[in-house]
C-alpha cells in the first residue's frame, strides 16, 4: 500500500481510503451489516487503514458499523475519521462549541471508542466564528478525545485562517476530473493550498457517485442515476445530458487505450494531483474494491494525463 504522510505528526493515511456513506440505505439501497463489515475487513486486509464516516450517514448506522469493524480488527490498527456539526436528531447544523462537544461524545459512543484519529469540521457554519470551533477542537485534542484535526468543505481563505488557530493536518473536499474548477473551495485551488502546506488531502466523490465508472449509462434509470438525482448532481440534469454522454464516451475510450477502467482512470488521475492526495472511495461490492485497489500499481504518464486534461477541458457544465 502507498501512503500519504503528514508533515506535522506520525499520521500516515493509505492513498485509497474507505468512505462509509454507501452503507446509508436511505440513499443507496439495502446492504447487510455482515456485508458492510466484510467489505471493510477486505479493505483492511489490503492495507487500507483510513475509514471515514459522519453521524448522519445512515443516521448513526455507519458509525456503529465502523465501530464494530474496528473492534474486530483491533481499534489501534485502523484510523477512524468522523465529522462535527451534523447529527442524527434532525437538529440544525452547528459548529457552536457546546453543540460539537455534545455531538462528539455521541459519535464516540456509536463508534464504541474513546477517541477519534481524525476529527473534521464538516462544513462552514455562518452562525459560529471559525475561531470558536477550532479552539474547541484544540481542547478535544488536549483531552485526548481526538488525535488529529481536519477541516472539510471550507474555502482556501477559511483554511488560511484555520491553520493559524489549530494544527490542521487533514483537508477533505469534493474533487474529481469533472469538478476540478467548479467552485472556489473545490479542485485545483484547494489542492495547491494543501500541497504548499503539506497537508493530507482526502478527496471525496472522486468517481462522482458512480458516474465516472463503466457501470453508468446516461439516461438509464439505475441506482447511480437515482442517487445522483437525490443529491442534485448537475451531471444527471437534463441541461447537461448531451455533454456528459459525449465526455464519458471520450474518457471511456481513452481509459481503454491506457488499459484502465473508467473508475481506475478517475482514481489514478486524482492520485497524480499531489503525493498528499488520498482518494476517499465508497464500496458496496467486493469486485469494485478489488478493481480500485489495483490503481496503486497502475501509473499514468505525463503525456497520458495531458490527454485526459485536454478532453475534460473541452467541456463546461452548468453547475
What's the whole-number average pLDDT of the chain? Answer: 94
In this prediction, residue 219 carries a pLDDT of: 87
3-state helix, strand, coil split of the chain in percent (to 5) is: 50, 15, 35
Cα separation of 118 and 147, whole Å? Answer: 6
State how far Cα 270 lies from the chain centre: 12
Asked whether residue 183 carries a pLDDT value surpassing 60, the answer given is no
**Structural domains in the chain?**
3-209+263-301 (3.20.20.100)
Asked whether residue 25 carries a pLDDT value surpassing 90, the answer given is yes
Which tens digit of pLDDT belongs to each residue from 134-156? Answer: 999 999 999 999 999 999 999 99
Q: Give the mean model confidence (pLDDT) for residues 55-81.
A: 97
User: What would the DSSP string read from start to end of 119-180?
Assistant: EEE-S--TTS-HHHHHHHHHHHHHTTSEEEEEEES--HHHHHHHHHHS-EEEEEEE--TTTT
Query: How many Å from the N-terminal Cα to the C-terminal Cα in the chain?
Result: 35
Q: Give the mean model confidence (pLDDT) for residues 110-124.
A: 97
Banded model confidence at residue 133, pLDDT cuts 50, 70, 90: very high
Predicted TM-score (pTM) of the model is: 0.95
Residue pair 260/268 in contact by the 8 Å Cβ criterion: yes
Asked whether residue 184 carries a pLDDT value surpassing 60, the answer given is no
More confident position, 252 or 89: 252
Cα separation of 236 and 222, whole Å? Answer: 11
In this prediction, residue 189 carries a pLDDT of: 85
Amino acid at each position: 500500500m502507498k501512503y500519504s504522510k503528514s508533515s506535522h505528526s506520525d499520521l500516515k493515511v493509505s492513498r485509497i481510503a474507505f468512505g462509509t456513506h454507501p452503507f446509508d440505505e436511505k440513499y443507496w439501497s439495502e446492504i447487510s451489516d455482515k456485508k458492510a463489515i466484510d467489505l471493510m475487513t477486505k479493505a483492511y486486509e489490503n492495507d487500507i487503514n483510513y475509514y471515514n464516516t459522519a453521524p448522519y450517514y445512515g443516521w448513526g448506522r455507519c458509525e456503529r458499523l465502523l465501530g464494530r469493524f474496528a473492534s474486530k480488527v483491533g481499534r489501534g490498527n485502523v484510523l477512524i475519521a468522523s465529522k462535527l456539526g451534523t447529527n442524527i436528531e434532525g437538529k440544525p447544523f452547528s459548529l457552536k462549541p457546546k453543540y460539537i462537544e455534545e455531538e462528539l461524545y455521541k459519535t464516540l459512543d456509536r463508534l464504541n471508542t474513546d477517541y477519534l484519529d481524525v476529527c473534521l469540521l464538516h462544513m462552514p457554519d455562518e452562525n459560529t466564528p471559525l475561531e470558536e470551533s477550532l479552539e474547541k477542537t484544540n481542547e478535544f485534542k488536549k483531552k485526548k478525545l481526538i488525535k488529529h484535526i481536519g477541516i472539510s468543505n471550507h474555502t482556501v481563505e477559511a483554511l488560511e485562517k484555520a491553520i493559524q488557530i489549530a494544527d490542521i493536518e487533514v483537508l477533505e473536499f469534493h474533487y474529481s476530473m469533472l469538478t476540478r474548477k467548479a467552485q472556489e473551495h473545490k479542485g485545483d485551488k484547494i489542492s495547491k493550498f494543501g500541497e504548499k502546506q503539506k497537508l493530507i488531502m482526502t478527496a471525496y466523490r472522486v468517481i462522482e457517485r458512480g458516474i465516472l465508472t463503466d457501470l453508468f449509462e446516461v439516461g438509464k434509470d439505475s441506482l447511480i442515476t437515482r442517487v445522483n438525482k437525490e443529491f442534485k448532481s448537475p451531471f444527471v440534469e437534463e441541461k447537461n445530458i448531451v455533454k456528459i454522454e459525449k465526455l464519458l464516451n471520450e474518457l471511456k475510450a481513452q481509459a481503454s487505450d491506457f488499459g484502465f477502467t473508467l473508475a481506475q482512470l478517475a482514481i489514478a488521475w486524482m492520485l497524480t494531483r499531489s503525493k498528499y492526495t488520498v482518494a476517499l472511495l465508497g464500496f458496496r461490492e467486493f469486485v469494485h474494491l478489488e478493481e480500485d485497489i489495483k490503481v496503486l500499481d497502475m501509473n499514468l504518464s505525463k503525456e497520458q494525463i495531458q490527454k485526459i486534461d485536454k478532453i475534460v477541458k473541452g467541456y463546461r457544465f452548468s453547475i
